[in-house]
A and B are shown apart, each in its own frame.
Chain A
Amino acid sequence: RKEVEQDPGPFNVPEGATVAFNCTYSNSASQSFFWYRQDCRKEPKLLMSVYSSGNEDGRFTAQLNRASQYISLLIRDSKLSDSATYLCVVGYSGGYQKVTFGTGTKLQVIP
């Protein structure tokens, strides 16, 4: 089983749609969870950290289910500028942050 698994997509959605991505992780000792966004040939950029209680940042909502070992990202009212690859990142801290990336889910928002 892959350490961090994501549906690669692509997800093609119209502007204004709501889209959800899921991610599963295999290491039950994982302690930190993030969603990053990566534009083509650019560096990953932190979108949001994911907390056990769930968290929201504008149009973006992240949820964590530790029992089932999955993380989700919901994007409401999709914009053209949301088109990117969304990377699920899972980490644990053994005195330093070791993070593992999923393969990413590609989102294309269509006019």
Chain B
Amino acid sequence: EPEVTQTPSHQVTQMGQEVILRCVPISNHLYFYWYRQILGQKVEFLVSFYNNEISEKSEIFDDQFSVERPDGSNFTLKIRSTKLEDSAMYFCASSDTGNSPLHFGNGTRLTVT
């Protein structure tokens, strides 16, 4: 069964550093998403991406965040200057249509020290 893959599985970085989280969505999917989950809390929407542009973003997704689909397969989330409160599990997801369920990758655990 095709799956969404994310790398790295764990990223440790110092406050103020830039990080790039990488995702390879399922190949025939057209809609891409980033979610995050702070330990012990709910899964929170960050951003959705379709047709090479952001469809919607949440309040969490401020100017420090950006997304990119640099080629036909990768989908990246960049955090420009990480803060302690950015520590969380970041999940990438994709779907084939605008109504179908999201398929999640296994996440990148980001630890900001």
Contacts and interface: CB of A to CB of B under 8 A. Distances in A.
Interface extent on A, as a size class?
20 to 34
Contact of A44 (B43, B45, B98): B43
Interface of A: 31-32, 34, 38, 41-46, 49, 87, 93-104
A95 B95 CA distance: 12
Tell me if B's interface is mostly helix, strand, loop or mixed: strand
Interface of B: 31, 35, 41-45, 48, 50, 55-56, 89, 91, 95, 97-107, 109
Given A41-B109, A42-B106, 8 more contacts: A32-B99, A43-B107, A44-B104, A46-B103, A49-B101, A97-B99, A97-B100, A101-B35
A95 B55 contact: yes
